[in-house]
Chain A
Amino acid sequence: MIKLDSKIPDGNIAEKWTNHKFNLKLVNPANKRKYNIIVIGTGLAGASAAASLGELGYNVTAITYHDSARRAHSISAQGGINAAKNYQNDGDSVYRLFYDTVKGGDYRAREANVYRLAEVSGNIIDQCVAQGVPFAREYGGLLDNRSFGGAQVSRTFYARGQTGQQLLLGAYSALARQVNAGTVKLYTRREMLDIVVIDGMARGVVARNMVTGEIENYTGNAVILTTGGYANVFFLSTNAMMCNATAIWRAHKKGALFANPCFTQIHPTCLPLHGESQSKLTLMSESLRNDGRIWVSKLKGDMREPNDIPEEERDYFLERKYPSYGNLSPRDISSRSAKEVIDEGRGAKGQEAVYLDFEDAIKRLGRKAIEEKYGNLFEIYQTITGEDPYKVPMKIYPAPHYTMGGLWVDYNLMSTIPGLFVLGEANFSDHGANRLGASALMQGLADGYFVIPYTIGDYLATQKFPSVTTGHENFKMVDQEISETAEKLLSIKGKHTVDEIHKKLGRIMWHKVGMSRNAKGLAEAIEEIKELRKLFWQDVIVTGNGEELNQTLERAGRVADYLELGELMAVDALHREESCGGHFREEYQTEDGEAKRDDENFRYVAAWEFAGESKWKLTKEPLEFEYVKLSQRSYK
């Protein structure tokens, strides 16, 4: 069994990172260009890492399946990015951001990592502003902040409703500068399909050229995965269409432990389903909850138009249940509360939706003020639904949005495979069982700009690297596996399309491994997923061939991986006999229906080792809380 060493430095929490940086070995500046670092992904985490490492003088190979580094899923983040600048003088501090994040994650994250995240958060904002990121400003010319996703201080920096876009374009521009300088070689339209481990170290990757179908080999001294989250295992999620788990899943099968796979976040404010052909779900920024009020009718099966339901017959359920946080209660709690009222039969006009109403805000602040704050979001809503949210309350419903779980990494962001580092949403590190709003962008950029440039140097400086070429037999083996899998997929020629099977998997995941879970449902899900996987490998149809651009083949490979990952998510959810954050087990709740943690038995990170089809070994990393007091989260 693998022994996990989190490598958390000694000392007071406020000094750990500083001391650690001092203790890390440095690579001689003249030697840096001799090291080749492969970065998979050019989202916030990947672009920031590749650019920063290029600036330091390393030889960087950056690979993305997108046609341009500017298009990663990070681009669609709307709401904002947190940082403990305390520009608003409202009592924020590094310590408070740290504390809120650990608490928000329901005490399932590592204190030391979270503290470091809070500590570097301010530098991120400085860096982005210097790149020309046009954050919102006040009339005095200084940066504006808002409170976001359940925070009681205003620490969120934002760029209209397009924060992710502007941050990514900033990181992308830094990357473009390094491409121009020749320190980064960028390969677009390449899908990494496996890593290559030689003498126990990650020494390269194998990717498919998505235009020609060629299998390409890349060697390096270290590999960094920044490939994002896996919420698309649910088929319908707020993630971009191409987001997938293939990179981390294949690394998992090569020996990287997968941590807390069941910790997924269901976001409360998404647009409801319109029908069978629905391809993804659209997020409406959580910032809407700052002014919008969430409600349903007090009556079951109420088919009246929302504007015909009088005030006294409305149930503002979040305000009622959580008077001090109200509509700003954390995501897991808000989503679950919406599900509860819908399960009671009180959804908007009998549908799977609740109202998000701006009538009071418009009365209080005027239409113009609301337009200024949320104009583009209201437009998006109207384009998609054909309804005018200035006049009729929006309808919203929860949707899978973010995955807190991911590959296990130590304090240096290295996985259990030496030389394989994992950053951004792809790792499990900082958000515990629930992520706070505006903290994913912060984490991706913290990892890429301010953590990996230090920690990877220590790894490179302390290893001996036998020379490796793409002719090595391990490359050949992986190449062959990949070609065989593709041939297999193309030769089945069955009856079920890839999307059809993906949708089926999504339904199993949503109903049984989704917002609330129980032992019976999870056990069923495991069996159903196995059945579905069998069906896939016997009866899927993948058109075309492998020697050309073939989007069906691309999707088939991704769905094949989801069909394994989905099972592990259910296995993890079944084993965790407690409720915490986004993981709600119906058997473990308090009298008033809140998540009931079991700190005695489950205060650990569950790290799973792949041991053959449907087999995993569990290793536990106990979590110690020295600074944050464990308590039941209360937002009442």
Chain B
Amino acid sequence: MSGNNLNLKLKIWKQKGPNTAGSFVNYDVSVSPDASFLEMLDELNDRLERNNEEPVSFESDCREGICGTCGLVINGLPHGPIPKIATCQLHMRNFKDGDTIYIEPFRAKAFPVIKDLIVDRSGLDRVIEAGGYVSVNTGSAVDANAIPISKDVASEAFDAAACIGCGACVAACKNGSAMLFVSAKVSHLALLPQGYPERFKRVEAMVKVMDELGFGACTNTYVCEAECPKGISVKNIARMNREFINAKIKSKTVEV
């Protein structure tokens, strides 16, 4: 497995807080090709700490590509050069000795920088709170097999539900749009009979909050799908647009 260490030049975005200006800082590192990208940053931080220098703040948790905590823009691409993985799943064997690597936070109007590579993505939670659920209290559910759901539909719903909420779609979009994220939740629930009764109310409420929070409009460039670590399809956006129009037609209080 193991080869020789890679010697790399890192240019990492450092920024004290949301209201201070940031800039790139250079670091040289030497790292095993078997290490993960984040392990490279761990090693760098360990070295900085040992010298009583300020380490680079970045977030990660499961390091298995499922929690959605990590998220770096690497050489201009959210989650780096390999498609369909999160930053934590990127390994150094994908880089060459002597490479220069730019590392930046996810940037979007709705994602203010907290520090260095950490941004505030809580807007995504606000959108879910607006309606990304089925209104069923604990204890009031019917037997799980009472409503059969065809395997295909369940599978399609799953594809949408696989979103990890990392925000790469927002960071990839030139408008900072959250349409892929929001439409994935709308689709997941609209496809299932359990989510059916509230589907119109849900889509209206979620879209309203999404707009209020400063996420941009969708102009169909599809980079969101390309950068999504879970390959969530832009078909969900089309479905959400349909849901939204239907909701507006059904709704008594049409806003313009």
Which B90-130 residues sit within 8 Å CB-CB of chain A? 91, 93, 114-115, 118, 120-122, 124-125, 128-130
Known contacts A134-B161, A541-B49, A279 near B36 by CB under 8 Å = yes
Which A23-62 residues sit within 8 Å CB-CB of chain B? 48, 51-52, 55
Which B121-176 residues sit within 8 Å CB-CB of chain A? 121-122, 124-125, 128-145, 147-151, 154-155, 157-158, 161-162, 164-165
**Which of A67, A126, A176 gathers most chain B CB within 10 Å?**
A67
Known contacts A76-B66, A141-B151, A279-B36, A131 near B194 by CB under 8 Å = yes
B65 interface contact, C-beta 8 A: yes
Known contacts A67-B69, A75-B66, A543-B54, A497 near B46 by CB under 8 Å = yes
CB 8 Å contact bits of A147-185 with B (1 = contact, 0 = none): 000000000000110101110010011101101100000
Q: Are A134 and B69 in contact (CB under 8 A)?
A: no
B192 interface contact, C-beta 8 A: yes
A304 interface contact, C-beta 8 A: no
CB 8 Å contact bits of A366-383 with B (1 = contact, 0 = none): 000000000000001001
Nearest B residue to A242 via CB reads B61
Q: Are B115 and A130 in contact (CB under 8 A)?
A: no
The segment from A8-16, A191-199, A400-408, A544-552 found at the interface with B is A544-552
CB 8 Å contact bits of B192-214 with A (1 = contact, 0 = none): 10110000000000000000000
Task: Report B31 CB to chain A, min CB distance, Å.
Answer: 7
Q: Are B144 and A126 in contact (CB under 8 A)?
A: yes
B2 interface contact, C-beta 8 A: yes
Which A228-265 residues sit within 8 Å CB-CB of chain B? 240-242
Q: Are B53 and A76 in contact (CB under 8 A)?
A: no
Q: Are B143 and A173 in contact (CB under 8 A)?
A: no
A411 interface contact, C-beta 8 A: no
The segment from B37-45, B217-225, B233-241, B242-250 found at the interface with A is B37-45
User: How far is it, in angstroms, between the C-alpha of A159 and the C-alpha of B188 when the chains are bound?
Assistant: 14
CB contacts (< 8 Å) of A241 on chain B: these are 60-63
Q: Are B34 and A275 in contact (CB under 8 A)?
A: yes
User: How far is it, in angstroms, between the C-alpha of A71 and the C-alpha of B148 when the chains are bound?
Assistant: 30
Known contacts A173-B132, A380-B65, A385-B1, A551 near B57 by CB under 8 Å = yes
Known contacts A173-B132, A383-B91, A140 near B62 by CB under 8 Å = no
Known contacts A176-B128, A274-B32, A68 near B1 by CB under 8 Å = no
Task: Report B169 CB to chain A, min CB distance, Å.
Answer: 15
Task: Report A498 CB to chain B, min CB distance, Å.
Answer: 7
B4 interface contact, C-beta 8 A: no
B10 interface contact, C-beta 8 A: no
A85 interface contact, C-beta 8 A: yes
User: How far is it, in angstroms, between the C-alpha of A136 and the C-alpha of B144 when the chains are bound?
Assistant: 12
B73 interface contact, C-beta 8 A: no
A488 interface contact, C-beta 8 A: no
**Which of B54, B61, B151 gathers most chain A CB within 10 Å?**
B61
Nearest B residue to A395 via CB reads B1
User: How far is it, in angstroms, between the C-alpha of A419 and the C-alpha of B31 when the chains are bound?
Assistant: 50
User: How far is it, in angstroms, between the C-alpha of A282 and the C-alpha of B65 when the chains are bound?
Assistant: 11
B85 interface contact, C-beta 8 A: yes
Q: Are A177 and B133 in contact (CB under 8 A)?
A: yes
CB contacts (< 8 Å) of A130 on chain B: these are 134, 136, 140-142, 194
User: How far is it, in angstroms, between the C-alpha of A275 and the C-alpha of B115 when the chains are bound?
Assistant: 30
User: How far is it, in angstroms, between the C-alpha of A135 and the C-alpha of B149 when the chains are bound?
Assistant: 10
CB contacts (< 8 Å) of B43 on chain A: these are 277
User: How far is it, in angstroms, between the C-alpha of A137 and the C-alpha of B143 when the chains are bound?
Assistant: 15
Which A428-462 residues sit within 8 Å CB-CB of chain B? 449-450, 453
CB contacts (< 8 Å) of A164 on chain B: these are 66
User: How far is it, in angstroms, between the C-alpha of A243 and the C-alpha of B145 when the chains are bound?
Assistant: 35
A129 interface contact, C-beta 8 A: yes
User: How far is it, in angstroms, between the C-alpha of A279 and the C-alpha of B69 when the chains are bound?
Assistant: 16
Q: Are B42 and A277 in contact (CB under 8 A)?
A: yes
A384 interface contact, C-beta 8 A: yes
User: How far is it, in angstroms, between the C-alpha of A70 and the C-alpha of B166 when the chains are bound?
Assistant: 10
Task: Report B236 CB to chain A, min CB distance, Å.
Answer: 14
Known contacts A166-B161, A453-B138, A67 near B60 by CB under 8 Å = no
B81 interface contact, C-beta 8 A: no
User: How far is it, in angstroms, between the C-alpha of A575 and the C-alpha of B236 when the chains are bound?
Assistant: 58
B177 interface contact, C-beta 8 A: no
Task: Report B206 CB to chain A, min CB distance, Å.
Answer: 11
Task: Report B80 CB to chain A, min CB distance, Å.
Answer: 12
A303 interface contact, C-beta 8 A: no
CB contacts (< 8 Å) of A173 on chain B: these are 128, 132-134
CB 8 Å contact bits of A117-150 with B (1 = contact, 0 = none): 0000011011111111011111111110000000
Q: Are B63 and A274 in contact (CB under 8 A)?
A: no
**Which of B31, B66, B161, B188 gathers most chain A CB within 10 Å?**
B66
Q: Are A549 and B61 in contact (CB under 8 A)?
A: no
Q: Are B32 and A277 in contact (CB under 8 A)?
A: yes
Task: Report A50 CB to chain B, min CB distance, Å.
Answer: 11
Known contacts A67-B121, A386-B91, A549-B114, A169 near B161 by CB under 8 Å = yes
A87 interface contact, C-beta 8 A: yes
Q: Are B134 and A76 in contact (CB under 8 A)?
A: no
User: How far is it, in angstroms, between the C-alpha of A380 and the C-alpha of B148 when the chains are bound?
Assistant: 31
Nearest B residue to A133 via CB reads B161
A484 interface contact, C-beta 8 A: no
CB 8 Å contact bits of B57-77 with A (1 = contact, 0 = none): 101111111111100000000
B252 interface contact, C-beta 8 A: no
A280 interface contact, C-beta 8 A: yes
User: How far is it, in angstroms, between the C-alpha of A500 and the C-alpha of B134 when the chains are bound?
Assistant: 46
CB contacts (< 8 Å) of A134 on chain B: these are 154-155, 157-158, 161, 188, 192
Nearest A residue to B59 via CB reads A67
User: How far is it, in angstroms, between the C-alpha of A174 and the C-alpha of B45 when the chains are bound?
Assistant: 38
Task: Report B185 CB to chain A, min CB distance, Å.
Answer: 9
A518 interface contact, C-beta 8 A: no
Known contacts A160-B158, A275-B34, A549-B114, A127 near B39 by CB under 8 Å = no
CB contacts (< 8 Å) of A543 on chain B: these are 48-49, 52-55
CB contacts (< 8 Å) of A449 on chain B: these are 138-139
A66 interface contact, C-beta 8 A: yes
User: How far is it, in angstroms, between the C-alpha of A129 and the C-alpha of B82 when the chains are bound?
Assistant: 34
B179 interface contact, C-beta 8 A: no
Task: Report A136 CB to chain B, min CB distance, Å.
Answer: 8
Known contacts A134-B188, A383-B85, A493 near B63 by CB under 8 Å = no
Known contacts A68-B121, A126-B144, A132-B134, A76 near B62 by CB under 8 Å = yes
**Contact sample, A vs B, 6 pairs, CB 8 Å cutoff:** A173-B128, A177-B129, A282-B63, A380-B65, A384-B89, A385-B1
Residues of chain B at the chain A interface (Cβ within 8 Å): 1-2, 17, 31-32, 34-36, 38-40, 42-43, 45-46, 48-50, 52-55, 57, 59-69, 82, 85, 89, 91, 93, 114-115, 118, 120-122, 124-125, 128-145, 147-151, 154-155, 157-158, 161-162, 164-165, 188-189, 192, 194-195
- Which 7 A-B residue pairs are closest in the complex by CB-CB distance? A141-B148, A130-B141, A173-B133, A126-B141, A134-B158, A274-B34, A52-B138
Given contacts A67-B120, A135-B144, A241-B60, 9 further A-B contacts (CB under 8 A): A71-B165, A127-B136, A129-B144, A134-B161, A180-B129, A282-B63, A384-B91, A386-B91, A543-B54
